[in-house]
Amino acid sequence: MNRLKCISNIHKVSLLLSLLIVIWLVVFSCDITGLSGKATGEIGSRATSGIPNIDRLTGVNWFGFETGNYVVHGLWARDYKSMLRQMKDLGFNCVRIPWCNEMLNKMPQSIQVNAWGTDPYTNEQGLNVELAGLSSLEVLDKIIEEAGNLGLRIILDNHSRAADGYMQETLWYTNDCSEDRWIADWLDMVERYRDCPQVVAVDINNEPHGGLLGLGMKPPASWGYDVPGYDITDWRKAAIRCAKAILAVNPDIIIVMQGVQEYDVYNYWWGSNHMGLRDHPVTDIPSDHLMLSVHEYGPEVAPQDWFQDPDFPNNLPGVWRQYFWFIYEEQIAGLYIGEMGIKESSAGDPSSIPYKWFTTFLEFAGNKVHWTYWSWNANSGDTGGILKDDWVSVNPVKYNLIKPYLAGATPTPTPTATATSSPTPTPTPTPTPTPIGIDAYSKIEAEAYSAQSGIQTESCSEGTLNVGWIENNDWIRFDAVDFGTGGVTGFQARVASATGGGDIEIRLGSTGGTLLGTCTVTGTGGWQNWVTRTCSVSNTTGTKTLYLVFKGGSEALLNINWFIFTKGITPTPTPTPTSTPTPTPTPSFSPSPSPPPTPTPTSTSVTPCSNPVSASIPFAQDGAGEFCWTFSTAPNYINSWNLAELTINGIDFTNKWAAGSNLPVKINGLYYVHYRGNFQWSHFEAK
């Protein structure tokens, strides 16, 4: 594997000046070491003893190289340089990039290369033109090079051996990837980027896990010993072997070493239990080259006993000290929170358990240690992303929680983005609500909410996004809506429904707060058949917190694109409901490295697709065209993106992840899959 030449002309000048300074010191000083002083914290700087002396890293995870795409996600909608520029503008200084060993000899999927397209963030013409024809590894080269140009640091994370394999892989080796190959691949990567000072650390294995307690996965990763009956399981010894080999190639790199899930009778998050350090410390790796890492999550990822403690959240610091925080307090090594995250609905709800956990953790650790938020991607099933589903708008409730804990200066304001026509149209991003208030009498995009419960966003036929997948008791909240001196009499909403519709309750203060009015939405004949409904509301004044609360039956109710308050407009009569078919709403695009179960769609009448071809699991299809396949066995999961249509036994699964257990009932013992894609980056997989 060739070495990437990352040193720019600026770096070369800097290195030349440094060399001249060293020569001057040699000539005019008898003791250079006595003049070393404290490291400046610039990229690559490090003390010679103690914990790594590097400026605090506060960044994001940008995943995809570890998936079947073999490339970071989102490049179907954005230019890679624009993505990195936006990270920099938001104040992040580091990017953790997961990768898998399988990706090293692959070509990337789902990159839009378009010389005429315009990036929606920078408004610059040309999308990923430099990536045309490159392998996955060569695309990674380009990302690392541009990160260096922007002053962003990179942490490379070996997330799994096989693509999408991290859930099943408890250890650092598999039947298809031995420990020797795992180390050899790391040595190739470290050698390749040895001249790239922006690559500051390597996370050598993501989330070693498994255990003997309860339903722990087997074989279990252990710390300080091999578990009898499971061959080699001692992650500590393997990590040291790998770290020594890496440091022999690049003595300046920082080793990131995660823990395990289970030690003795104590169970914690995957890779985040460091209690074994007390009995089996890491003494073979210099502490100034070592960061020990944990992944910290709330109950949205998995329920844990400590979230139910009567003393919650005051009990949490004791939990953290037990499992990992002693590393920081005793200065054993650097401490790095490799992953942490929260869903948008919880981030906007201060009464929720996830919100209390997350804000408590940020107050406890956010300004003290290195961290990278999970994730930048819009399509994380665990937590969602910093980016919204349009892959350019920033999620304000999440970003505002972590922003005070960013290292460095206040981020540059985000440029206004405008979507333009391209092979994969990107919705126009909506502006982030600001504390000065939202004008109630100007059109308010529904997806510009401050918080939500139950809903999802999706591409809208009228441009931008709409709020969809609305069911009974779901809601969206808008902070600081300014009604001025009053006079409001009406409420208009742009809505659509393929069912019988439902009611929109317009409330102030809370989901059960003052009711200004109720707007009834009836069926419009389709989820993208938009009409404007007008209804009467009571007058109000001043700046208020607005809730739209949705009420109706047990099925999906309606979609909403935008709304506006009016003065002196007579409401339109509610049309008589008409009988319409009940298709499943078009889902939002959300493939994920760790997705949650998807509810089983219901079906009334199913017509299998025509001329089906028999296929077997695992299966994948990319590109434009229309196909029909049958499968006799259920996959573990299905996933798709950038498709015009994907149905299974007549049920819509377009651009959606779903567990195999949630697929509809077989027809004549078969699953009939109808695929229709318009782009070369359209994709479906069943594994």
Give the residue numbers marked as catalytic: 207, 339
Neighbours of 425 (CB within 10 A): 14
β-bridge partners, 445: 562
Instruction: Report yes or no: 198 and 154 within 8 Å, Cβ to Cβ.
Output: yes
Q: How many angstroms separate the Cα of 607 from the Cα of each of 504, 614, 665?
A: 34, 17, 13
Q: Residue 388 and residue 121: Cα distance in Å, rounded?
A: 13
Contacts of 33 (CB under 8 A, 6+ apart): none
Distance CA 38, CA 450 (A): 44
Contact 152, 84 (CB under 8 A): yes
Closest CA to 526 of 577, 476, 584: 584
Q: Which residues of 350-365 are buried (b: 16+ CB within 10 A; e: fewer)?
A: eebbbbbbbbbbbebb
Cα–Cα distance for residue pair 180/664, rounded to 1 Å: 43
Please report which helix (H) or strand (E) contains residue 566, including its range.
strand 559-566
Amino acid letter, 347: A
Place of tokens 């938020």: 373
Q: Which amino acid is present at 354?
A: P
Angle formed at CA 63 by CA 58 and CA 67, multiple of 5 degrees: 160
The answer to whether 193 touches 1, Cβ cutoff 8 Å, is: no
The identity of residue 231, as a single letter, is: D
8 Å CB contact between 233 and 216: no
DSSP 463: S
Q: Residue length, the chain?
A: 687
Minimal CA–CA distance to 383: which of 409, 358, 406, 407?
Answer: 358
| Contact between 75 and 131 (Cβ < 8 Å) | yes
Across 94-105, b (16+ Cβ under 10 Å) vs e yields bbbbbbbbbbbe
DSSP state of 383: T
CA separation for the pair 58, 67 (Å, rounded): 24
DSSP line for 130-179: GGTT--HHHHHHHHHHHHHHHT-EEEEEEEESSTT-TTT--SS--SSS-H
442, exposed or middle or buried, with CB in 10 Å at 0-12, 13-18, 19+? exposed
Q: DSSP secondary structure string, 336-381? A: EEEEE---HHHHT-TTSHHHHHHHHHHHHHTTTSEEEES-SSTT-T
What whole-number distance in Å separates Cα of residue 337 and Cα of residue 320? 12
Sort residue 207 into left (φ over 0), alpha (ψ -120 to 50) or beta. Answer: left
Is 252 within 8 Å of 234 (Cβ atoms)? Answer: no
DSSP string, 272-324: -B-GGGGTS---SS-GGGEEEEEEE--TTT---GGGS-TTTTTTHHHHHIIII
CA distance 517 to 506: 5
| 369's tokens | 């240690």
With CA atoms as reference, report the closest residue to 353 among 308, 318, 400, 396: 308
